[in-house]
Amino acid sequence: MTRPSLQPLERFSPAALARVRCVLTDIDDTLTSDGLLRPAAFAAIHRLAQAGIRVVPVTGRPAGWCDLIARQWPVAGVIGENGALWFRYDPGGPRIARGHWFPEDRRQADRLRLDDLARRIAEEIPEARPTSDQAYRESDLAIDWCEDVAPLSRAQLDRIVELAEEAGATVRVSSIHVNIWFGEFSKLAMTERFLADGLGIDLRSDPDAFVFAGDSPNDSTMFGFFANSVGVANVLDFVGRMEAEPTYVTPSRGGEGFAELADALLAARTGG
């Protein structure tokens, strides 16, 4: 049976909300609004953590960002580069625990292939430039299509995807970047591995204990897997361009929408 999609958040039943023990969330345009992490969204993460609901960002952002997030945000860990790696801060252990999908030698070999692909993309589409955070990435190539540059056209985006796929790479388009990598990792695959290796949790034993929040096509695998999937309102900008759509949609966009999801989760716990 096909699962309903794009339903208003108010249709997420209190009983189902009350079962949630962990929130997995994208960052850009899900936690952030217009590129900024505003007080409402960051406070929502704190409130969830204080209530015993773990929060785990699952993002396309680079390893360098993930190190800071793991150390300084009230989160149980962070999955970065679309599933290439995870970091978790452990105050009682070696401080930062890390996991990578591939070993170091494979990552180095893939980096050379990605550098070559970046040159080919630039030769054909000079406006297509690596993101400003590319220097802090370990396993993927990110092309900026609208964050710090004039927006690329749909035809240019489509051609970047074609070039990546012709090279045998995996490619995902987010709300701001085109992320490209070699190998079979994904947000969903690394989420399952992180929960098992980093937190000792079997995702598939109780998937209803999780909710995923996202906003764009590169969240499609997560939307498709989690019955408790929520898109912030700007996900509606991508209707018809996602392989799978979220079950629910918040009233507001970006971080305000995430705060609305947090409010619903916390209200269900208190019977409010």
CA pair distance 178, 95, nearest whole angstrom: 32
**Do 104-181 and 7-101+185-270 have the same topology in CATH?**
no
Domain 7-101+185-270 classified CATH 3.40.50.800? no
pLDDT score, position 92: 78
pLDDT at 59 (0 to 100)? 97
Tokens 């995430």 sit on residue: 258
Residue range 184-240, pLDDT digits in tens: 999 999 999 999 999 999 999 999 999 999 999 999 999 999 999 999 999 999 999
Distances (CA, A) of 171 to 32, 107, 118, 178, 203: 23, 17, 13, 7, 25
Report, at the CATH architecture level, how domain 104-181 is classified.
Alpha-Beta Complex (3.90)
Assign 9 a pLDDT band (cuts: 50, 70, 90): very high
Structure confidence at residue 112 (pLDDT): 97
- Give the model's confidence band at 91: pLDDT under 50 very low, under 70 low, under 90 confident, else very high: confident
Model confidence, pTM: 0.95
Instruction: Indicate the domain borders of the chain.
Output: 7-101+185-270, 104-181
User: How sure is the predictor about 270, in pLDDT bands with cuts at 50, 70 and 90?
Assistant: confident
Average pLDDT of the segment spanning 61-66: 98
Taking only the tens place, the pLDDT of each residue in 93-149 is 778 999 999 999 999 999 999 999 999 999 999 999 999 999 999 999 999 999 999
What's residue 1's pLDDT?
59
Task: Tell me the β-bridge partners of 95.
Answer: 90
Q: What is the 3-state secondary structure (H, E, C) of the chain?
A: CCCCCCEEHHHCCHHHHHHCCEEEECCCCCCCECCECCHHHHHHHHHHHHCCCEEEEECCCCHHHHHHHHHHCCCCCEEEHHHCEEEEEECCCCEEEEEECCCHHHHHHHHHHHHHHHHHHHHHCCCCEECCCHHHCCCCEEEECCCCCCCCCHHHHHHHHHHHHHCCCEEEECCCEEEEECCCCCHHHHHHHHHHHHHCCCHHHCHHHEEEEECCHHHHHHHHHCCCEEECHHHHHHCCCCCCCCCEECCCCHHHHHHHHHHHHHHHHHCC
Q: Find out whether 117 and 164 touch, Cβ atoms under 8 Å.
A: yes
State what percent of residues in the chain have pLDDT above 70: 99
Per-residue model confidence (pLDDT) at position 10: 98
Does the pLDDT at position 272 exceed 70?
no
Residue 223: closest CA among 12, 1, 4, 44: 4
